[in-house]
Amino acid sequence: MSGLGGLNKSASGVVIGLVQLQLPVVRTPDELAAQTRRIVDLVGKARRNQGTMDLVVFPEYSLHGLSMDTSPAIMCTLDGPEVAAFRKACIDNTIWGCFSIMEANPDGNPYNSGLIIDDTGAIRLYYRKMHPWVPVEPWEPGNIGVPVCDGPNGSKLALIICHDGMLPEMAREAAYKGAEIIIRTAGYTAPIRHAWRITNQANAFCNLAYTASVCMCGSDGTFDSMGEGMFCNFDGTVMVEGGGRVDEIVTCELRPDLVREARTGWGVENNIYQLYHRGYVAVKGGAQDFPYTYMQDMASGTYKLPWSDKVQVVDGTSCGFSAPQRAYKGAEPHPLVPRIPKAMAPREPDELTTTP
């Protein structure tokens, strides 16, 4: 039940629009500025398209395209003009927005970052992609975890990016922190079509969460992105899906109240609860142990596959990147938690100061 794509919005509903954005070519600051204006225009289109829409979601790489260019001249910052423009667009159109930026990192490679901005211009969620799509992507691995934020109409939102969704631990982490709607933005191209679909469905079902996922769309003359915005119900079924039509906004109404009902009321297949309460019919409260070897080994720093020594691709040299010499420095506190209060008053774009 999607409320006819959100046209018939219920009192408990959250209407989301997934933008199958035309894949751009961005090589210069001028092209970056032009693509920023294009995204801002589409925020306005989303509002005009559907008055009931609460949140409009743009794909990964919607600002920078798929070139993997790390030139400092086109990297973004949280207090830069691109983010300021996105914040203003949300204010001007009274709508929440989810955006993608390639973010400058003075200590290494840029981050592939995502933002959720509310209708007052406040940044509600800031995320750095945890699992860049190696060996193709050069981005620094995210180091601030998987945040969850309060969303429109009492919902709980999380954002994961592209390849993140291929690792079941990512959606599980988001749900474990309370996310009822897991947004997944991507730049994937056609060879990933089948895996895209089944992981969106599995991430929803295994965690009793809605998934709302969208890729870039169309061709930049080199790559062909596939669009395919899709919403999955918490039982794993596909509710609404788009195709390959450029700039189409695929819409759906989601009901977080039904997620909450399932998570508390389901017995059979309440998997995220049963993970830590296995066999509770036989033993009181279920077995609350730590039986998974790979998790134990990750925690102890001894993770090793039986075939690890035979893995052939272990850096980005096959895709033209130099082998890295730096070691990972480890997780950091989330940089925005102490700096952006829940209801930060909106300011003019040239006054924004949210640099971590």
Question: Which residues are the active-site residues?
Answer: 60, 129, 162
- Tokens standing for residue 287: 């077995």
**Cβ contacts of 248 within 8 Å, gap of 6 or more:** 19, 20, 217, 227, 229, 242
DSSP 8-state code for residue 296: H
- CB contact at 8 A, 219 and 25: no
How many CA atoms lie less than 13 Å away from 88 in the CB half-sphere? Answer: 18
Does 335 sit behind a cis peptide bond, omega within 30 degrees of 0 on the bond before it?
Answer: no
- φ/ψ region of 247 (left if φ > 0, alpha if ψ in -120 to 50, else beta) reads left
Residue 27: name the closest of 76, 67, 83 by CA: 67
- φ/ψ region of 225 (left if φ > 0, alpha if ψ in -120 to 50, else beta) reads beta
For the packed helices 168-176 and 193-207, what is the interaxial angle rounded to 10 degrees?
30
Nearest-angstrom CA–CA distance, 211 and 191 = 21
- Tokens standing for residue 1: 């039940």
Nearest-angstrom CA–CA distance, 26 and 189 = 18
Residue 238: name the closest of 200, 266, 187 by CA: 200
How many CA atoms lie less than 13 Å away from 356 in the CB half-sphere? Answer: 20
Q: Show the 3-state SS of 225-264.
A: EECCCEEECCCCCEEEECCCCCCCEEEEEECHHHHHHHHH
55, 129, 20, 51: CA torsion to nearest 10: 0
Nearest-angstrom CA–CA distance, 187 and 102 = 13
